[in-house]
Amino acid sequence: MAEIDLKQLLPYGDTTQDGAVQLSFTLPIEPSAKAREAATQIVRNWGFFDIRIAHMSSIGIGYAFFVVMARAEKSVDYTKVEAPQLDLQKRDYKEIDKKILQDVKRPIRLVGACTGFDAHTVGLDAILNMKGFDGDIGLERYKGFKVVNMGSQVPTDELIDRAVKENADAILLSKVVSQKDIHIHDMRELIASLKKRGLERRFILVVGGPRITHKLALELGYDAGFTIGSRPSDVANFLYEKMIEKKNAKNKK
């Protein structure tokens, strides 16, 4: 394998550093030779070269879908890239249960919901429901967690009210819908509502979804962000470690 220059990192296609990429997008025009040329010029304006339209088809009246092969010219210095990430010790649910009951001395109380107009609970249920996801059991099955799953389209204030009522240690917010950055709006709304009620330091705040990153979560005031591929045990490990962190900080005072 050829040595890679991490200071000039480019996409890999056929050979190292060739910058080859595949793009797909839709234009609000009918497929035609003119549409093909328009797609080519758009991709060129994005900074790509050696552009080839691999596929063009109609996906409805007045819409053309394109698959484009091209090459990127601008590289990135990978040695200077910074991205916060969760560094969690991997434990299975039996070990997590044992650690929680041993170190926390009681189940961790968790309230989860999809807020706003988001009606998609697939991510929330994958983490919380007993069956879990991909062989990784959900938090409802743990002895070390007491879980309240409020489901979808829950008003932000109702989520907070329930968390207060349950004396929750953590709030899990799930955001799937992301059109026009509605997921960011809803994330900010929860933080603002907690601050308004003087509860911004009361709960461990966890958010998850396909457009969520740990970096975004931290920037908006959350303790952790989980994205596609996250498992229930990942969330469980984080909550356990965060509870121990809070316990140790309290003991130092």
Extract the tokens encoding 139.
């938090």
Mean pLDDT of 45-72: 97
CB atoms within 10 A of CB 147: 22
- Of 43, 55, 49, 37, the residue nearest 10 (C-alpha): 49
pLDDT tier at 87 (50, 70, 90 boundaries)? Answer: confident
Amino acid at 107: P
Question: Which is more confident, 252 or 177?
Answer: 177
N-terminal to C-terminal alpha carbon distance within the chain: 54
Rounded to 5 degrees, φ, ψ at 247 are -65, -45
134-184 pLDDT, tens per residue? 899 999 999 999 999 999 999 999 999 999 999 999 999 999 887 888 899
Enter the tokens of residue 175.
């955001």
Q: For residue 37, is pLDDT > 70?
A: yes
pLDDT at 214 over 80: yes
pLDDT of residue 14: 87
SS3 state at 200: coil
* Mean pLDDT of the region 233-253: 88
pLDDT confidence band for 1 (50 / 70 / 90)? low
Cα–Cα distance, 47 to 75 (Å, whole number) = 11
* pLDDT value of residue 121: 87
Q: Under DSSP, is residue 64 helix (H, G, I), strand (E, B) or coil?
A: strand
What does the mean pLDDT of the chain come to? 92
Query: Structure tokens of 240?
Result: 């356990």
What is the C-alpha to C-alpha distance for residues 141 and 158, in angstroms, rounded to an integer?
25
> Domains plus CATH for the chain?
6-79 (3.30.30.60), 93-252 (3.40.50.280)
Q: Name the pLDDT band for 83 (thresholds 50, 70, 90).
A: confident
- pLDDT tens digits for 64-77? 999 999 999 999 99
pLDDT at 253: 64
Cα gap 134→116, rounded to integer Å = 28
Q: What per-residue confidence (pLDDT) applies to 5?
A: 84
Angle 103-209-6 (CA atoms, 0-180°, nearest 5)? 90
Residues with catalytic roles = 131
Neighbouring C-beta atoms of residue 69, cutoff 10 Å: 17
Helix and strand numbers (H, E) in the chain are 7, 8
Q: How confident is the model at residue 133 (pLDDT cuts 50, 70, 90)?
A: confident
Whether the pLDDT of residue 251 is over 80: the answer is no
Q: What is the pLDDT of residue 88?
A: 82
